[in-house]
Every structure is written in structure tokens, then in C-alpha cells.
A and B are shown apart, each in its own frame.
Chain A
């Protein structure tokens, strides 16, 4: 096994997946995942043939503009689907098991909130106003692990300490907590079953700068202390660098670049990723900001060739054809762009 997950994406997946792949360093492997929605105007390709993999205890961050399919990808991985699904195909290996083959009920009992949990956007508003916060945080243990209430509340006390919520907040109601504290409580809820994977969908975008920095400090603590992998989904590129070992860039429903954070933030490979990084305002260094003219294509009838071609400053003839994913560089970065074709 190499150090970086990026490398083993090209290796074939084991046919008979071992149920407990603890020895295997790969936590999550997604292959050709598609999630298309039915709309009145046609089929919307929110996630189109996305493949990537991540190791245990790594944190990857998925960045892209709004409407590029980041949240849909997270929902597809955790099978939290809305009703208008048109196509939902591909393979998702979590801990060596292809969870796409499991029935919905089995998935709910054995995977969701047991192996993988999610902190969704503005999750702090998702707390039940008539239940005490401690009870809500402890609830997954009572449901999934059949724990007694006292035992579960004891565990809740531990995770509260871990995320930095005072223990007496266990007995409070959601409205008695500030936004930052509520978000921490949700984070505690996602940690309580000791999952291997936590998906954070814009965990701090509704919070203030100082609160956001405090929560990211807590996330770093958790990452250093526990055996947990993070998928961080955000459009805030500066903040995403706070918790990134690897960077995945999405554009118009597709994954266009997957690289280590050193490459991803300093010298990205895909022209879109370059434009995106150049548009981020920085506080400390003086740089000329650039922007990407135009707007992303509609996902209902996306262009047949490269989806970024219409806005790309470096487009050429080949861009009319859909580029495959190329492997480049020392760390086997993956990039979906003809510029990096090896002829």
C-alpha cells in the first residue's frame, strides 16, 4: 500500500470484498458514482461518474461552486436521497464492503450513523426544540447500539468534552445554546457512535469567523485523537485548507482534480482549479485577483466534450471530446483535462 490513496484508485477493486478490512488502509472507495435527478425539464446529472478513494484517518476536502454537485455527492455516498432520483448507480466501498448492494433497511441499520455519519449544512437548526440536547446527542447510541439511556448519556458527556461543549449543556434545550455551541452539539452527535467516516457539509458557513476558527480547532483535535476520516464539503476555499490532506475539485457534476493539498492549493493542475484558486482573496499577500468569466453549463444537457471548455482560457481542438482522467506528477495527482494527456 502506498502512502497516498490517490495512487490505488487505478488498482482493481477486490471482487469479493472482505467484510472487515481493518488491515486495508482504504476507508472509502467510490467508483463511477452517478446520481441523476428527474426534473420537469429533463434529467439533471448532479453527480456524473465520480470516482475517488480515501485512506483511513485522512481528511479530504471537496470544493467547487454552488450547484456543482458537492452536496449531492455526499448524499449519494450516505444514500440520503430525495424522491426524484432518476439514476443512482456506481460502487461505494466503505471499509471494503460495497454498500450500494445493501438493502435500504440494512444500510440504515448497519452503515448510516454506525460507520459513517454526516453533519449537514446549517445543521444546528436541525436540533429538536422540545428535547434536551444531551438526549438527542445520545439517541444514535440507544437506537443503533441498544444502549441504556444512562450509559448513552455517559458517552454523550465524553463527546461533549471532546468537542468543547460544557457538560452541563447536556440538560439544556437547543434554544438555550448559541449557534456555535449547537453546531458543536451536532458534531458530538456525529461522533458518538465512533464512525470511521464523517461527512461535513459546509459545517461552519453559517457561523462567525471566530466561532468558525474555534470549531476547526476542535475538528483538528478530533482528527489527531480519534480514528476518523473526514470528507469536508465547502465552497470556502480558504477555510477548507484548515482540514485538508487531499483536495478534490468538482465542476458541473464531475470530479476534475484530485491532488494532495500541497499541489491542490499551491499549483493546481486543472485550468478550472487554477482559476478558482486565483479568485480567492488573501489577507496577507498582495495578489491580483482573477475571476473565471461565464458560468457553469446546465446539468440537464451538459456539453458532450469537456464541461469546462466554454470558459477555459487554454482550450484547444481536443476539448470537444470528453477528457478521461489522467495521472500526473510525483504523487499521481488525477486530473480530468486534455492538457495533461500523455501522447
Chain B
């Protein structure tokens, strides 16, 4: 599938200003620091990172909900720089939120929830809108449709609510879906169902999907490419199989070691993970941002100079001095 470019992000910086007493400037939270990637139509990619690593800020910046401090985002050939009408962008990008119950208005029933985006974007006639609502409900398997239309969010189970959120993201026929931890609030037994549903929809409509998660173990069931994020930067970018079986960056290694598989033997061994916490994004450490926690840091280099992206294996990028050519 050689597809056209859908989204191109280059050297993106997003900074939030900190204010003292709501007035005086007190520094910046550098939530994104030089992030670049390309996404083609029909391609799914996953961003994995811990909380506070900047992954949600990345989504917000793409959705136009956070400022672009430097760098640029090009979506469907259009540069997003604040001059683009919000409605133009939001009718082309679907958003699947983390907490489905929080994302659905409790006073609207299923029909209203799905009709609202179409009303705002002046989509079709009432009959066409009704037709579209039925199509998306069919697509996310909320069946029988007639039973679900008058229901309110609290009458649905967690899995059904998340299906509804996906249906709402799909209703305007977007070309890009961004999903912020879409399954982290769901039970294990329905998680797989939702991931498979998103995968099916993505294939059927040739959508671009950006999936954000902190759980590496679900990634292989969803996308081809994975970006690992640490302290506002991508530290490693590679294919799913490559990243699991040929892990390069020490942080990714730690992340993989921290994720258990259900195995009774786990109770008898310790996990090999570095202590400490991710750094503050107001004053990030000099040099490589992982160096204070890194078990294999090179003295005199890692704490001084920020590593550029190396490509030791084809299509496998890593920002770590260990792989200097």
C-alpha cells in the first residue's frame, strides 16, 4: 500500500508557560521537544510513553488544542499554524478519548451524541444524518440499532461506551483517528474486542491512526510502527517486531523488563528496572534525558551532549550514544 502522505510532523515543540501568581512568567514546561514523524494513509502507529512524557500533548497539538511553539505540522497538504479553521481540521480528525464515560455527555442519548458533530459541521439532511448514524452503529456493532438509539451513556457498559466514542469519532468520515489510551479504562476481556474493532475500521476505511498507550503489550495487536517517548522526545522508533526482539535504547529495555506476562514464575524473581523517576520538563537534564537513570551511561558524553537519532538497523532509529556509528 504505497499511500499518500497524510500527516507530517517536523521538529515540533510545544511549550506551556508557567506563571507565578497567575501573572509573572516562571519558565516553560517543554512538553514536546523536537518531535518528527510522517504518517501515511491507511497506516497505524503507536506512541508509547509513561505519564508526563508528552504523548497526550502530541495529540493535543495535532488536534489544535495546544499551541505549536516551533516546528510544523502538515495535515492533508495543509499547514496547521493557527490560521486553519478549527472546524476544517476537526471534521477530518476523529478523537477517541481515554475515559469513555467522561467523554460522553450524560444528558444526551446515543442518537443525539452521534448527530451533534454532524449538526455542528452542517452535514447532510436529517434523513442522511439518520442514515449515517445507523451506518456507524452497525460498524461498531452496537446492535440492534433501534435498541441503542434512545439509550443514555450510563445505560451502556464500559465496552459499549467506548464503541460509541469510536462511532462518534467515525461519524464525519475522518481520514485520521487519534486515540488516547482507548482501552486502558476497560477490562481485559473487552480490551481485545475494542482493539480488533479499531483495527478492522482502520483497514476498511484506509484510515491513518495514531494510538497512544503506556502498555507495550497491546501494541503488537494494533500497529506496525512504534515510537517510544521519554521526557518529551522520541527515543526509539521502529517496527513492532523489531522493537520487541531487537531493543536498542536502554529506556525501552527497562520498559520491556517492567511489563510482566502472566507467568507464575514472576513471583520468584525481581524485575530489572532502574530506580528513579522521569525528569522534570521544566528543567530537563543536560545531554541525554535518560542519563541520570541509565545503567550503561558513557561518562563524559551522555550527560554533556544530546544524542542525535542514529540508524544502526534500517528503519530503526534510536537516540542513544551507544549506537554511534
Query: Which residues of A pack against B, CB within 8 Å?
Result: 59, 65-66, 164, 178, 180, 208-214, 216-217, 220, 235-245, 260-262, 264-266, 275-277, 279-286, 289-293, 295
Contact = CB atoms under 8 A, between A and B. Distances in A.
B193 A291 contact: yes
B153 to A, nearest CB: 15
Contact of A264 (B193, B217, B256, B264): B264
A208 B184 CA distance: 12
11 contacts: A180-B277, A210-B258, A210-B274, A235-B188, A245-B267, A261-B264, A262-B264, A281-B191, A283-B216, A286-B220, A289-B192
B189 A292 contact: yes
A23 B271 CA distance: 34
Contacts of A283: 216-217, 220, 244, 256, 259, 261
Contact of A238 (B189, B217, B244): B217
B246 interface: no
Contacts of B270: 217, 220
Contact of A295 (B159, B244, B256): B159
Interface in B186-237: 187-193, 196, 214-218, 220-221
A285 B261 CA distance: 9
B295 to A, nearest CB: 13
B22 interface: no
A280 B267 contact: no
B51 interface: yes
Interface in B247-275: 254-264, 266-267, 270-271, 273-275
B157 interface: yes
Given A178-B277, A239-B260, A265-B263, A281 B51 contact: no
Lowest 10 CB-CB distances: which A-B pairs, in order?
A213-B258, A261-B264, A208-B50, A65-B187, A213-B271, A289-B192, A209-B258, A283-B217, A213-B273, A281-B217
A211 B277 contact: yes
Query: Which of B188, B190, B196, B214 is the most central at the interface, judged by chain A CB atoms within 10 Å of its CB?
Result: B188
Given A213-B271, A261-B267, A238 B192 contact: no
B260 A238 contact: yes
A164 B273 CA distance: 14
B258 A212 contact: yes
B277 A238 contact: no
Interface residues of B, number: 41
B158 interface: yes
Interface in B110-169: 157-159
Contacts of A59: 267
Query: Which of A208, A214, A241, A281 is the most central at the interface, judged by chain B CB atoms within 10 Å of its CB?
Result: A281
A265 B262 contact: yes
B193 A280 contact: no
Contacts of B188: 65, 235-237, 276, 279-280
Given A210-B254, A242-B266, A282 B261 contact: yes
Contacts of A281: 191-192, 215, 217-218, 220-221
Contact of A213 (B192, B193, B257, B263): B257
A66 B187 CA distance: 7
Contacts of B157: 295
Contacts of B196: 291
